[in-house]
Structure 1
Amino acid sequence: MSGPVVVGVDGSPSNLAVVEVAAREAERLGVGLELTQAVGWPSGAGRFAIPSWEAAGTGGHASTSGVLAEAERHARGAARRVRISRGVLVGEPGTVLGGESRAASLTVVGSDGARGHGSRRDGSLAGRLSACVSGPLLVVRGRPNPVGAVLLVVHGASTLRGAAEFAFAEASAHGVDLVAVRLRNASAARPYGGSAQATAEDEEDLALAEELSEPRERYPDVTVRCRRPRGGARRALVEASADSRLLVVGVRDRFRFARLPLDPVCQTALHEADCPVALVRC
């Protein structure tokens, strides 16, 4: 996809780091960067009056031009050759960015205190976007290790292909390893053990190797390692993210179309990972 990287701009100090990440991603992808600020209707504006805040000298949203200018300054400092556009759109941030994501290669937001772990509703911007965004969503959070591996979370074959492609591209661009972490599915635990369990795990590993064969051919520079942690999926995911550059997890499209909450693995990644998280629709 050749659309821009879209990043939400809110004027907060922490958001400037998010803008810098988005600029570097745009440079990696060879596309433009779109700085998008969402604002509400100003008091006294008519229902269909769409004010031009870029030209406004006073009023509740007069600072939008300065906010975007500061964001652009940080973006250019992170990626000088990236083409940058900027705009102010009326509406709730999740709705605005969800709409802009339809033509985007990647949508980038910060982790604004994600809430609602384990619940059906998540009031954070990242949580709202996860239900409506088109294409990959990068949530900047945690303390990433710049030389750490890219983690590809494996929790079902149907969530792997698109996520794998994204993970390989990131690992190749940054010259780091890719670690495929296969999480246990407690709800699908087998009633057998011993050699039968080992045989089943070997079969799963072979299936995973086959799934990864195509991106491995396209990215021969990427060293791939597989990890099968023991214990619960939540703990394994959080621990694995502690020394990683990025965590990539696939999201089944039915969660978006049916407006269902994310599955537990995706929720844990979004709320508790200690590094940036990419949610990729599959």
Structure 2
Amino acid sequence: MSGLVVVGVDGSAAALAAVDAAAHEARMRNTELHIVHAFIWPALHVPRGTSPLGPPAGGVRERVEEMLAEALTRAQAAAPGVQASHGVIAGEAVTALEAESRAAQLLVVGHHSSDGFVHVLLGSTAAHLAAHAACPMMVVRGRPKPAGPVLVAVDGSPQGQAAVAFAFTEAALRGTDLVALHAWTTWTDHEKPALGRPLEIVDLIGDERQLQATEDHLLAEALSGHRERYPNLTVHPRLVHGRTRPALIEATGSAQLIVVGGRGRGGFTGLLLGSVSQAVLQHAQCPVTVVRAGVA
């Protein structure tokens, strides 16, 4: 693997949790950790020292430097021996972190903002980075189960294969099992031929047992090549009859990480981030990594 692990910090507790996770990732991947803070004031030529109207040692830049020093100390404590650096980027957080992702193998952010000092928040920022970052992006949220598996959402689409590949690698790096979850309903079959007559309920439902067998085969096919590359990894295929979003969110309660694709089978082709990925980002009970096709 090439590239750094990059983590964005904003002085919040969530950002420090992201630093912990990013430090572990960097050590597992045998690469450097780079801690960054997007800071708009340098572009406005704010004086480096304290304001004559403010308290001693109360300058904005001093606060930023203290924040980065704390994050660096936190990283070295979380993953002793990890090589870490830090820096301030002039600019708005989303734009700066998207630019940093171009030289990274993983971008890590926390799941909410601080006090408005600099906004790195779940919602528009995380969704934007998940849809536009040039590498996989992890949002550190929830309460992961340290002994739990890595969970991956499998939809059988070509776009989803990058997420599956990432999840296999991640589970192997972490030394844990991989749960590959594929949810289906009687509406999952998107390849009905034109019937030349009005649809009947039997056309929509079809033979449920046959459809289940088809979905089971789809799940096995999505995992087959990766299993050969990781013969020592324990993989648990899980076929769930139900809606994808609630099935995945429930399963995150026992996982240490969930991996999802950016957009897979179904949905609107113009969207860079699908509804399932957005729902998981908002509601997962453990950290989430979004892996879009072409960036892993």
Give me the TM-score of the superposition, normalised by structure 1: 0.84
Structure whose alpha-carbon radius of gyration is higher: 2
Q: Which residue of 1 aligns with 2:232?
A: 221
Whole-Å separation in 2 of the counterparts to 1:44 and 1:105: 31
Q: Which residue of 2 aligns with 1:102?
A: 102
Whole-Å separation in 1 of the counterparts to 2:163 and 2:135: 11
Q: Which residue of 2 aligns with 1:274?
A: 285
Q: Which residue of 2 aligns with 1:116?
A: none
Q: Structure 1 residue 39 and structure 2 residue 50: aligned?
A: no
Whole-Å separation in 2 of the counterparts to 1:205 and 1:234: 18
The 1:201/1:87 distance shift into structure 2, 3 A limit, reads same
Q: Structure 1 residue 157 and structure 2 residue 157: aligned?
A: yes
Please report how far the alpha carbon of residue 185 of structure 1 lies from its aligned counterpart in structure 2 after TM superposition.
Answer: 6.1
Equivalent residue pairs, number: 261
Q: Report Cα offsets for 1:102-129 as digits up to 9, x if no partner.
A: 110100001117xxxxxxxx85421221
SS at the partner of 1:279? Answer: strand
User: Is the deviation greater in 86-95 or in 173-182?
Assistant: 173-182
Please report how far the alpha carbon of residue 72 of structure 1 lies from its aligned counterpart in structure 2 after TM superposition.
Answer: 0.3
What stretches of structure 2 of length at least 5 have no aligned partner? 51-58, 114-121, 191-202
Whole-Å separation in 2 of the counterparts to 1:213 and 1:161: 11
SS at the partner of 1:105? Answer: strand
Deviating beyond 3 angstroms after TM superposition, the runs of 4 or more aligned structure 1 residues are 185-194, 258-261
Q: Which residue of 2 aligns with 1:168?
A: 168
Please report how far the alpha carbon of residue 184 of structure 1 lies from its aligned counterpart in structure 2 after TM superposition.
Answer: 2.5
Q: Which residue of 2 aligns with 1:232?
A: 243
Q: For residue 272 of structure 1, what is the amino acid of its counterpart?
A: H
The 1:186/1:102 distance shift into structure 2, 3 A limit, reads farther
Whole-Å separation in 1 of the counterparts to 2:186 and 2:281: 20
Please report how far the alpha carbon of residue 188 of structure 1 lies from its aligned counterpart in structure 2 after TM superposition.
Answer: 4.2
What stretches of structure 1 of length at least 5 have no aligned partner? 46-50, 114-121
Q: Structure 1 residue 87 and structure 2 residue 98: aligned?
A: no
Aligned-CA RMSD value: 2.4
Native 8 Å contact 1:112 1:126 kept in 2? no
Native 8 Å contact 2:150 2:170 kept in 1? yes
Q: Structure 1 residue 262 and structure 2 residue 273: aligned?
A: yes
Q: Which residue of 2 aligns with 1:61?
A: 61
Q: Structure 1 residue 198 and structure 2 residue 214: aligned?
A: no
Q: Report Cα offsets for 1:14-70 as digits up to 9, x if no partner.
A: 31111011000001111100000001136963xxxxx7x8xx343432211111110
Whole-Å separation in 1 of the counterparts to 2:187 and 2:272: 17
Sequence identity, in percent?
44
Q: For residue 159 of structure 2, what is the amino acid of its counterpart?
A: T
